[in-house]
Structure 1
Amino acid sequence: MGQNSRIMPTYREVTSALRRVNSQLSAAECHGLIAGALNTQNTASIMRFFTDDPESLQQDPEFSVLISQLVQVSSEGYRDEGFNFQFLLPDDAIPLLERSRALAEWCGGYVMGLLESGLKEFDKLPQDAAEVAKDLVEISQLDTSIDVSGSDNDLMQLEEYVRVGIQIIYRALINECGWEAGK
């Protein structure tokens, strides 16, 4: 795919592309779905979640390019020893409540990606990875419809927990099953 494959598409670009293919997913949920599926190398099984209209996927080559970029950047993020996995989330200028909702959606997509790509029981993971997976389920169910007190710093800490947590799950799956994203 070349050098451009390493550039994370913007939240706005992915949101626009998802609308063009009549997807019900948010950009954050879409990226979470990809990131979860990459843990088991089974991204093909998730394509059906992007839209109810498969023809629209074939008619929008830009959508395929964006998805390929997300897969590539995410694969590289998992392999990065510095834990620099990038999330596709709204930028910091967006209100805290919307960014919190997007992180919850990202976690929901991630869990769905894990489940749909073959990981059926979190309890079969090593204990630390199983705990993280269960925490991600909890985060995905946060009620972001009510304005709770919180700060940008709280959200950053939660994002960092998720970033480290998905690395724990990824490493557990590599060690347990020999899977490796993008290989």
Structure 2
Amino acid sequence: MSSEPISGLPTISAVDAQMGRLSLPTGASELHGSLCGWLAGGGSAQADWLARVMADDDIAMPETGSALDELRTASAAQLADRSFDFELLLPDADASLAERSGAVFDWCRGFLGGFGLAAGAQPPLSAESLEALADLAKLAGAQAQDDGDEEDEAALVEIEEFVRVAVLLLHGDCVLGAQHRQRLN
């Protein structure tokens, strides 16, 4: 663990703006989910991540220092750091419940795609990780809620926390566990 604080993610608007310039067919939350799935499944955090995650070799590498490059470096650092400072790129709390819940479900859809690309068909997962992956798949199939009350707001916060912990668990099995096994051999 490093003693220096991990830099945060770029803003969702900065990521959306750069994605628009590149004509990428997805939203910022879903792209971040894809990136995190790729990284959690053992994919490389190299600069060509965008083409790999989007499964399109024609997509150019993000420019160094751009919002997409910052998204890559911050996400990789957050996942690698064991202080649990990992964040999801989601709309701010002042956005509507529909927008925020939709973004969480989009994030989960992206995560599953990126994870599958990197981890393959039979990743080395614990029983807890298999259950977490199944729960993420259920969330990925969910629909955004139009409106709600304080109870729905609280439920969304719990879902976001579950997703965060599930990603760290999956990353632990696929990446940190593999690194540990390599050190033992």
Identify the TM-score tier after normalising by the shorter chain: 0.7 to 0.9
Which letter does structure 1 place at the counterpart of 2:44? N
* Counterpart residue number, 1:108: 109
Percent of aligned pairs with the same amino acid: 25
* Counterpart residue number, 2:183: none
* Counterpart residue number, 1:61: 63
* Counterpart residue number, 1:81: 82
- Distance in 1 between residues matched to 2:121 and 2:54, nearest whole Å: 21
Structural mapping, 1:156-171, within 5 Å: 156-171=157-172
CA contact (8 A) 1:18 1:27 kept: yes
Structural mapping, 1:34-183, within 5 Å: 34-39=35-40, 40-42=42-44, 44=48, 46-47=50-51, 50=54, 54=58, 57=60, 61=63, 65-121=66-122, 124-144=124-144, 147=146, 149=148, 151-178=152-179
- Residue 42 of structure 1 and its aligned partner are, at CA, apart by 3.2
- For structure 2, list consecutive stretches of 5 or more residues without a partner in the other structure: 1-5, 181-185
- For structure 1, list consecutive stretches of 5 or more residues without a partner in the other structure: none
Q: CA RMSD in A?
A: 2.8
- Distance in 2 between residues matched to 1:137 and 1:45, nearest whole Å: 23
How many residue pairs are counted as aligned between the two chains?
171
CA contact (8 A) 1:46 1:117 kept: no
SS in 2 for 1:125: coil
- Residue 113 of structure 1 and its aligned partner are, at CA, apart by 0.6
- Cα 1:51/1:66, change in 2 over 3 Å: farther
CA contact (8 A) 2:31 2:110 kept: yes
SS in 1 for 2:163: helix
CA contact (8 A) 1:37 1:110 kept: yes
- Cα 1:96/1:79, change in 2 over 3 Å: same
**Please, what TM-score do these two structures have when normalized by structure 1?**
0.80
Post-superposition, which runs of at least 4 consecutive aligned residues in structure 1 deviate over 6 A? none
- Distance in 2 between residues matched to 1:177 and 1:42, nearest whole Å: 14
- Residue 117 of structure 1 and its aligned partner are, at CA, apart by 1.6
